[in-house]
Amino acid sequence: MTDALSEALAPMRHPRLRSGTAARLAGLPVTTLRVWERRYGVVAAARTESGQRVYSPHDVSRLRLLRQLTHAGHPIGTIATLGLESLRALADGVPVPVGPAHGAVLEAIVVGRSAAHALEAVPGCRLRAVHDDLDQAESAPAPEGEVGLLLVRLASLQPRMVERVLALGASLRARAIFAVYAFGTEASAASLREAGVTVRREPLSDRELAQWVRGAREALPHAPAESAWQPAPRRFSDEALARLAATPSSVACECLRHMTEIVAQLAGFERYSQECSSTGPADAVLHRQMSHTAGVARTMFEQALQRVVDDATLAFRDEPIR
Q: Are residues 173 and 257 in the same domain?
A: no
**CA 306, 310, 313, 314: dihedral to nearest 10 degrees?**
50
- Please report the sign of the dihedral spanned by the C-alpha atoms of residue 165, residue 169, residue 170, residue 172: positive
| Bigger pLDDT: 281 vs 145 | 145
Question: What residue type is assigned to position 268 of the chain?
Answer: G
Paired sense of beta strands 106-111 and 53-55, if any: unpaired
Last residue of a domain, one of 163, 195, 223: 223
- Do 112 and 77 have their domain in common? no
Tell me, yes or no, whether 6 lies in a domain.
Answer: no
Q: Which of 91, 116, 139 finishes a domain?
A: 91
Q: What pLDDT does residue 226 have?
A: 37
Q: Which of 208, 223, 238 is the last residue of a domain?
A: 223
Residue 74: pLDDT band by 50, 70, 90 thresholds? Answer: confident
| 3-state secondary structure labels for all residues of the chain | CCHHHHHHHHHHHCCCEEHHHHHHHHCCCHHHHHHHHHHHCCCCCEECCCCCEEECHHHHHHHHHHHHHHHCCCCHHHHCCCCHHHHHHHHCCCCCCCCCCCCCCEEEEEECHHHHHHHHCCCCEEEEEEECCHHHHHHCCCCCCCEEEEEEEEEEECHHHHHHHHHHHHHHCEEEEEEEEEEECHHHHHHHHHCCCEEEECCCCHHHHHHHHHHHHHHCCCCCCHHHHCCCCCCCCHHHHHHHHCCCECCCCCHHHHHHHHHHHHHHHHHHHHHHCCCCHHHHHHHHHHHHHHHHHHHHHHHHHHHHHHHCCECCCCCCCC
User: Most confidently modeled of 208-212, 238-242, 253-257, 301-305?
Assistant: 238-242
Say yes or no: 194 and 249 in one domain: no
| Residue-wise pLDDT tens digits, 267-294 | 888 888 777 755 555 556 667 767 777 8
**Which domain, by its residues, includes 232?**
227-311
In a domain, 5, yes or no: no
In this prediction, residue 311 carries a pLDDT of 59
Task: Mark whether 121 and 199 lie in a shared domain.
Answer: yes
Which CATH number characterizes residue 85's domain? Answer: 1.10.1660.10
Is residue 209 located within the same domain as residue 301?
no
Domain count, the chain: 3
16-52 pLDDT, tens digit per residue, is 888 889 889 999 898 888 888 877 778 777 777 777 8
Would the pLDDT of 318 be above 50? Answer: no
In a domain, 215, yes or no: yes
Regarding pTM above 0.95, the answer is no
* Cα–Cα nearest to 219, from 124, 78, 86, 89: 78
Q: What is the mean pLDDT of the chain?
A: 75
